[in-house]
A and B are shown apart, each in its own frame.
Chain A
Amino acid sequence: MLRLIAQRLGLGLLTLLAASVLIFAGTEILPGDLASAVLQNTATPESLAEMRKELGLDRPAAVRYVEWLGNAAVGDFGRSLASHRDVVEEIAPRLRNTLFLASYAALVAVPLAVALGLMAAIWQGGVYDRAVNFVTLLTISVPEYLVGYILIKYLSVHLGWFPSLANVTPDTPLVQRIGLTFLPMLTLVLVVVAHMMRMTRASVLQIMASPYIEMAFLKGLPKWRVVVRHAFPNALAPIINVIALDLAYLIVGVVIVEAVFVYPGLGQLMVDAVSKHDVPVVQACGLIFAGAFILLNLIADMAAILSNPRLRHPR
Chain B
Amino acid sequence: MVELDYWHQQHAQGRIGRREFLGRAAALGAGAAVIGRMVADVEARAAETPRSGGTLRLGLAGGSTTDSLDPGTYTDSVMIDAGHALFNGLVEWRADGKPHPEIAESWEVKPGAAEWIFNIRKGVTFSNGKTLDADDVVYSLNMHRGKTKSGAAGPFKAVSDVKKLSPNQVQVTLASGDADFAYVLTDYHVLMVPDGFADWSKPVGSGGYILEKFDPGVRITAKRNPNYWKQGRAHVDAVDITVINDSSARLNALMTGQVDAINRVDPKFVRTVQKNPKFEIVRAPGGWHAVISMMHDRPPFDNHELRLALKYGIDREQVIRALFSGLATAGNDHPIPKTDPYWNSELPQIRYDADKAKFHMKKSGLTNPPLVLQCSDAAFSGAVQMAELFQQSAGKAGIRVQIKKEPADGFWDNVWLKGPFVTSYWGGRAAATQMLAVAYGPDAPWNESHFKNPRFTELLAAARAETDEAKRKPMIWEMQAILHDDGATIVPVFRDWLDGHNKNVGGHTPHGGFDMDNGYIAENAWLKS
A273: chain B residues within 8 A (beta carbon): 65-66
Known: A45-B445, A82-B68, A165-B258. A262 touches B253 (CB 8 A): yes
What is the CA–CA distance of A164 and B248 in the complex, to the nearest angstrom?
A: 11
Shortest C-beta distance, A92 to chain B (Å), equals: 12
Total number of A residues with any Cβ neighbor in B under 8 Å: 49
B409: chain A residues within 8 A (beta carbon): 30-32, 37, 275
B457 at the interface (CB under 8 A from A): no
What is the CA–CA distance of A78 and B253 in the complex, to the nearest angstrom?
A: 36
- The digit string for A102-127, where 1 denotes a CB below 8 A from any CB of B, is 00000000000000000000000000
The answer to whether B64 touches A262, judged by C-beta atoms less than 8 angstroms apart, is: no
Minimal Cβ-Cβ distance residue in B for A42: B151
B67: chain A residues within 8 A (beta carbon): 83
Shortest C-beta distance, A163 to chain B (Å), equals: 6
User: Which of A31, A54, A84, A276 has the largest number of chain B CB atoms within 10 A?
Assistant: A31
B248: chain A residues within 8 A (beta carbon): 149, 260
From A8-16, A152-160, A214-222, give the one contacting chain B: A152-160
Q: Which of B66, B149, B151, B255 contacts A83 (CB 8 A)?
A: B66
From B239-247, B315-323, B366-374, B482-490, give the one contacting chain A: B239-247
The answer to whether A82 touches B244, judged by C-beta atoms less than 8 angstroms apart, is: no
From B42-50, B209-217, B298-306, B341-349, give the one contacting chain A: B209-217
B147 at the interface (CB under 8 A from A): yes
A85: chain B residues within 8 A (beta carbon): 201
Known: A164-B253, A262-B249. A38 touches B413 (CB 8 A): no
B407 at the interface (CB under 8 A from A): yes
What is the CA–CA distance of A139 and B307 in the complex, to the nearest angstrom?
A: 52
A83: chain B residues within 8 A (beta carbon): 65-68, 216
A246 at the interface (CB under 8 A from B): no
A301 at the interface (CB under 8 A from B): no
Known: A43-B412, A167-B219, A260-B246. A80 touches B66 (CB 8 A): yes
B213: chain A residues within 8 A (beta carbon): 169
The answer to whether B66 touches A272, judged by C-beta atoms less than 8 angstroms apart, is: yes
What is the CA–CA distance of A6 and B212 in the complex, to the nearest angstrom?
A: 49
The answer to whether A36 touches B413, judged by C-beta atoms less than 8 angstroms apart, is: yes
B75 at the interface (CB under 8 A from A): yes
B73 at the interface (CB under 8 A from A): yes
Minimal Cβ-Cβ distance residue in A for B406: A31
B392 at the interface (CB under 8 A from A): no
A41 at the interface (CB under 8 A from B): yes
What is the CA–CA distance of A276 and B67 in the complex, to the nearest angstrom?
A: 10
Instruction: State the 9 A-B residue pairs at the shortest beta-carbon distance, nearest first.
Output: A32-B410, A82-B66, A31-B410, A36-B413, A42-B151, A272-B65, A32-B413, A276-B66, A264-B218
Other A-B pairs, 20, CB within 8 Å; known A32-B413, A36-B413: A31-B409, A32-B409, A32-B414, A33-B410, A41-B412, A46-B147, A47-B150, A51-B149, A156-B252, A157-B256, A165-B59, A165-B244, A165-B256, A167-B242, A169-B213, A259-B246, A264-B215, A272-B65, A275-B64, A278-B65
